[in-house]
Chains A and B, each alone.
Chain A
């Protein structure tokens, strides 16, 4: 056993650092530090810079533009990205539909979509949840009925993140009602410009607009847009939700937020905002958070190392999402506590201007509110616990 990265891994880390220092645009970096909302153009710009370097979709198979990196390299890359305040690419493109098409896509689908997905020439959204199908996703009802060479879609998706920007949607639709609810679900790709699609915004508690309702009214989708087989969409969805785990706990993000907390701690102690007692209480809270972050970091590294030896199911891996999201949320709670009443006056959602002098005050609470979603989406933490109880504990 040893804790240190190898010389090769450290050299790789230096290479990543040097690239990020050079390639990350200063205005994007500043927006990230200030917790400002990134618009679509920001995300696209950065993704294309990464893509030009060959680092936009590193965990895809090499023939589709991926890098044959070790789990340790993938971990290092993600951590360095976070510590350098680099934005993440679109998760829908990079982590969801891309790997799905690499695995299940037809040759034509790969040809049409993969390169464009890596470069965000196509912006994807995910049509999974419905009003009656959240945690119980397999009970989804939006129907796709075969009519000649098309499916005709009717129904509604909800919580569809960034559907207002999306060029295409990948989603789950019911093509058969006769069997178990996991059967008869089909994974489809659809052009958001298709007639009959209506996108309606949902304002969220952070004051932002990322979530949407999407309505389907006789929307025609060619049968060539089925991914995998008709009726086997549930397997495709499970693959999508369960593939990449070298960065699942998002340690880098939490470390970056911790360093912001330490900066604020010093500043607020120095300018008289925090009393002596408050400084001490804060120091204890930060120590507690750091202990758990260190334990989580080591757990993530154990999984990364195990994956280098072939991986497989393991108890440590199963806890990363739950604990990782709790940790991310805890960081934003602490920043909001630090802001106190001065953080009540929020700034405009798209222009938080959350610089570390004063703007962070208005950005703190909205960021805290928005981070509540991380323990809900992608399978809520309660669903995660159900899965762990069943698969790891046999309960």
Chain B
């Protein structure tokens, strides 16, 4: 049992934390949000230059072969900066599908550009009228000569409008599959929107979009397993990002309690606020523990892995809400001002709970699995 980072991991942590602090302050983020993309290509290139986009990919694919702990380190740092760039969309979600499902040819075709930061990908999976977190899809892919034709509508595709390539889940006659679709292909209609957390999303309609046979990732019928594995890794990543956002929010709030003066004293001298700040600290530390648990669970046996990751997501759903709400409340009116960072962290924490199954979803899954502790029962 050991919770120390290795020297290499410490270096990674220092480097990425400094990069975010130096180049992605609140002003830079605000500026990025106002661009036509809604995010900063320059900031994303900074992540690429540091090699972070290749972090989870195998060395033979041009990556660095990083594991759960490395992912945790990076996502926590990005969470601290509330970065809206497509790291999660491209590297974690679409990249996860590529890692767990794509052929060597597909990986060779896509990963060099992805790792260089030149090729943006997004996962188009959620649909209206479906459970909010599911492996299933209603969009269809029908055989069309050698290739396929895709029809359907996807919602809330994270970074869908910026993506060069979409990974689209669709029902084939032979079971659900995942397809690589060029966003510029005929029949793809993208409606761009801005997420309340600042991250761009899009609704995307596919009308008889023709894709070649080589666009299918893995075999038809395999998408459930590929997505399940991808979502586990992505959930662990979101948990770490939440810890970063919570840490930053907590630090800013404690600082505010020390500097904001009312009634002639710093408001942090009031016990009502001190105890609530301690409640925030407790939620933060519990969440940090669960981010570690999730990061260390990615390669253990499936049963315990699922329990651990669901427990972690359930924890940060609760902690993120408490920390976000309390941070806003303790800042008073400044907390609900768009010009101040805390409100944006609150919004991102709200979005993180909603993504990949909220607290209720993961509690339900744990109920189904008869709890967090398999042996305890």
Whether both chains belong to one complex is answered with yes
Chain B contacts for A290, CB-based, 8 A: 311, 366, 371-373, 376
Pairwise interchain contact A1-B282, C-beta atoms closer than 8 A: no
B119 shortest CB reach to chain A, Å: 31
Pairwise interchain contact B373-A388, C-beta atoms closer than 8 A: no
Chain A contacts for B311, CB-based, 8 A: 290-291, 294-295
**B58 proximal to A (CB < 8 A):** no
Chain B contacts for A304, CB-based, 8 A: 1
Q: Restricting to B244-295, which residues have a CB under 8 Å from any CB of A?
A: 254, 257-258, 268-269, 271, 273-275, 277-279, 281-282, 284-290, 292-293, 295
Report which of B279, B285, B296 forms a contact with A316, defined as CB distance below 8 A.
Answer: B285
- In the assembled complex, the Cα of A295 lies from the Cα of B258 at a distance in Å of 29
- In the assembled complex, the Cα of A318 lies from the Cα of B278 at a distance in Å of 10
**A373 proximal to B (CB < 8 A):** no
Given A255-B373, A395-B254: 13 more A-B contacts, CB < 8 Å: A283-B367, A284-B367, A291-B311, A295-B286, A305-B2, A315-B284, A385-B278, A386-B271, A389-B271, A392-B278, A393-B254, A393-B257, A393-B274
B269 shortest CB reach to chain A, Å: 7
Report which of B69, B278, B286 forms a contact with A388, defined as CB distance below 8 A.
Answer: B278
Pairwise interchain contact A298-B366, C-beta atoms closer than 8 A: no
A255 shortest CB reach to chain B, Å: 6
Chain A contacts for B287, CB-based, 8 A: 295
Pairwise interchain contact A389-B277, C-beta atoms closer than 8 A: yes
B257 shortest CB reach to chain A, Å: 6
Pairwise interchain contact B366-A2, C-beta atoms closer than 8 A: no
- In the assembled complex, the Cα of A395 lies from the Cα of B269 at a distance in Å of 6
- In the assembled complex, the Cα of A335 lies from the Cα of B105 at a distance in Å of 58
**A309 proximal to B (CB < 8 A):** yes
Q: Ordered nearest first, which 7 A-B pairs have the shortest CB separation?
A: A298-B289, A389-B274, A290-B372, A295-B286, A262-B377, A395-B268, A287-B366
- In the assembled complex, the Cα of A386 lies from the Cα of B290 at a distance in Å of 26
Known: A2-B296, A393-B254. A293 touches B372 (CB 8 A): yes
Chain B contacts for A56, CB-based, 8 A: none
Pairwise interchain contact B315-A291, C-beta atoms closer than 8 A: yes
Q: How many A-B residue pairs have CB under 8 A?
A: 145
Contact digits for B338-377, partner A, Cβ 8 Å, 1 yes 0 no: 0000000000000000000000000110110001110011
Chain B contacts for A255, CB-based, 8 A: 373, 376
- In the assembled complex, the Cα of A323 lies from the Cα of B289 at a distance in Å of 14
A contact residues vs B (CB 8 Å cutoff): 1-6, 9, 72, 255, 258-259, 262, 266, 280, 283-284, 286-288, 290-296, 298-299, 301-302, 304-306, 309, 315-316, 318-319, 322-323, 382, 385-386, 388-389, 392-395
A7 shortest CB reach to chain B, Å: 12
Pairwise interchain contact B293-A294, C-beta atoms closer than 8 A: yes
A153 shortest CB reach to chain B, Å: 34
**B8 proximal to A (CB < 8 A):** no
B99 shortest CB reach to chain A, Å: 21
Chain B contacts for A72, CB-based, 8 A: 1
B contact residues vs A (CB 8 Å cutoff): 1-5, 69, 254, 257-258, 268-269, 271, 273-275, 277-279, 281-282, 284-290, 292-293, 295-297, 308, 311, 314-315, 363-364, 366-367, 371-373, 376-377
Pairwise interchain contact A291-B363, C-beta atoms closer than 8 A: yes
17 sample A-B contacts, Cβ–Cβ < 8 Å, listed by A number? A258-B376, A259-B376, A262-B377, A283-B367, A287-B371, A287-B372, A290-B366, A290-B376, A295-B293, A295-B315, A306-B3, A315-B281, A319-B285, A322-B278, A392-B281, A394-B258, A395-B254
Chain A contacts for B308, CB-based, 8 A: 294
B120 shortest CB reach to chain A, Å: 31
B9 shortest CB reach to chain A, Å: 8
Chain B contacts for A315, CB-based, 8 A: 281, 284-285
Known: A5-B1, A287-B367. A389 touches B278 (CB 8 A): yes
Pairwise interchain contact B290-A258, C-beta atoms closer than 8 A: no
Pairwise interchain contact B281-A305, C-beta atoms closer than 8 A: no
Q: Which B residue's beta carbon lies closest to that of A322?
A: B282
Chain B contacts for A299, CB-based, 8 A: 285-286, 288-289
Chain B contacts for A291, CB-based, 8 A: 311, 314-315, 363, 366, 372
Report which of A301, A318, A395 forms a contact with B3, defined as CB distance below 8 A.
Answer: A301
Pairwise interchain contact B254-A3, C-beta atoms closer than 8 A: no
Chain B contacts for A280, CB-based, 8 A: 367
Pairwise interchain contact A395-B258, C-beta atoms closer than 8 A: yes
Pairwise interchain contact B372-A1, C-beta atoms closer than 8 A: no
- In the assembled complex, the Cα of A299 lies from the Cα of B69 at a distance in Å of 17
Chain A contacts for B364, CB-based, 8 A: 284
Report which of B2, B273, B376 forms a contact with A262, defined as CB distance below 8 A.
Answer: B376
Pairwise interchain contact B363-A288, C-beta atoms closer than 8 A: yes
- In the assembled complex, the Cα of A158 lies from the Cα of B52 at a distance in Å of 61
Pairwise interchain contact B3-A385, C-beta atoms closer than 8 A: no
Q: Which A residue's beta carbon lies closest to that of B367?
A: A283
Q: Which A residue's beta carbon lies closest to that of B316?
A: A295
B311 shortest CB reach to chain A, Å: 5
Chain A contacts for B5, CB-based, 8 A: 1
Chain A contacts for B297, CB-based, 8 A: 3
Known: A2-B296, A386-B271. A323 touches B372 (CB 8 A): no
- In the assembled complex, the Cα of A283 lies from the Cα of B297 at a distance in Å of 24
Q: Which A residue's beta carbon lies closest to that of B282?
A: A319
Chain A contacts for B372, CB-based, 8 A: 287, 290-291, 293-294
A296 shortest CB reach to chain B, Å: 7
Chain B contacts for A395, CB-based, 8 A: 254, 257-258, 268-269, 273-274, 277
- In the assembled complex, the Cα of A4 lies from the Cα of B281 at a distance in Å of 26
- In the assembled complex, the Cα of A271 lies from the Cα of B292 at a distance in Å of 40
Known: A287-B366, A291-B363. A302 touches B289 (CB 8 A): yes
- In the assembled complex, the Cα of A104 lies from the Cα of B1 at a distance in Å of 34
Pairwise interchain contact A3-B293, C-beta atoms closer than 8 A: yes
B238 shortest CB reach to chain A, Å: 16
- In the assembled complex, the Cα of A319 lies from the Cα of B274 at a distance in Å of 14
- In the assembled complex, the Cα of A381 lies from the Cα of B288 at a distance in Å of 22
- In the assembled complex, the Cα of A266 lies from the Cα of B377 at a distance in Å of 9
Pairwise interchain contact B258-A1, C-beta atoms closer than 8 A: no
- In the assembled complex, the Cα of A248 lies from the Cα of B241 at a distance in Å of 29
Report which of A262, A309, A316, A394 forms a contact with B289, defined as CB distance below 8 A.
Answer: A316
- In the assembled complex, the Cα of A255 lies from the Cα of B286 at a distance in Å of 17
